[in-house]
Amino acid sequence: MDTPPPSQPVEPGHSPEGLHLVPPPPPPPEPPRWLQKTAGVVWVIFCFEIGVFLLVFPWLDFWEHNLFSNLGYSDLSQYWEAMWDSNWFRGAVSGLGLVNLLISFIEVFQLRRLSPPPPHSEEDAPQ
């Protein structure tokens, strides 16, 4: 008695004989380039503004008189105010601002990858 050959895995859309039954799905369309650039510019502006705010605001007089500096009147409020007014804490917040500024500058250079490549002429080609 002949035993049938072991079954081999069949790719989706193909029959065991290799005939193509169903066309493969088309690749998903890329979002429009202008939409990517606009989102990138908005992200850069957002990161830059947050960075400047976090860099400068802790060193202004308003820092000591805002809602977060007087957070509650419990036993922990005196410790919270001492930490809030500490130069170490202000420096840490300013450091977060520097990180945001760095992110915004990196993203500006990343926006160049969305630009179309410069036209290639035959004059520029190496000989």
The two structure tokens encoding residue 2: 């002949």
Give 94's pLDDT tier (boundaries 50, 70, 90).
very high
Nearest to 56 by CA among 5, 110, 97: 97
Distance CA 67, CA 115 (A): 44
Distance CA 38, CA 40 (A): 5
pTM of the full predicted structure?
A: 0.63
pLDDT of residue 111 exceeding 80, the answer is: yes
pLDDT of residue 16 exceeding 80, the answer is: no
pLDDT of residue 8 exceeding 90, the answer is: no
83-92 residue pLDDT tens:
888 999 999 9
* 71 vs 40, more confident: 40
